[in-house]
Amino acid sequence: MKVKLDWKRLFSKKSTVICACLFLAGLLLVIASGAAKKEEALSESAPRFDEIAYTQALENRLCAHLCAIEGAGEVRVMLTLETAGEQNYSRDYTSEHTASDNADNGRESASVVLKSEKNGVKSPVLESESLPRVRGVCVVATGARTPAVKLKLTEALQALLGIRASQISVVA
């Protein structure tokens, strides 16, 4: 079985326009992916916050403090975070204003300020950083069977983390 191609129909005006549109769409995708890679490379050069390491370090510190409470016994802590924290980078703002007869027209743009490292890599300038907020805490303590120890553990967590008692669960 042979397939016969209709060359005249293949190179008609309509198919040529469709091919040109597909070529341009492909070209735009290639250009857009190159811009996304540059932006991704910039964000990778910025120091990233390690949420898991932060959570584990905070849990370990809380365990150390809570174990010191009289009657608490063996203590295990698990935290959940509400936010991932926030990093604010320095920006350079520029604006252009042109006056016309009936209205003021202007354009504003902002770009992230970059600094060059010793190894030649450019990284953004960090202005401020906020740590994640704690959503809730679960404490398992062998001494939590007594209401007095349970209350001490809850009050300690409220003071250390700045959260409400409703966000704390203490169980034996």
CB 122 within 8 A of CB 45: yes
At 167 the pLDDT is 96
- For 144, the 3-state DSSP assignment is helix
* Residue written as token pair 């320095």: 90
At 124 the pLDDT is 81
Cα–Cα distance for residue pair 64/75, rounded to 1 Å: 9
At 97 the pLDDT is 65
Mode of pairing for the β-strands spanning 86-89 and 126-130: antiparallel
Block means of pLDDT (10 residues each) for the chain, length 172 residues?
A: 61 66 74 61 55 91 95 95 78 70 65 79 80 93 96 96 96 94
Cα–Cα distance for residue pair 118/114, rounded to 1 Å: 13
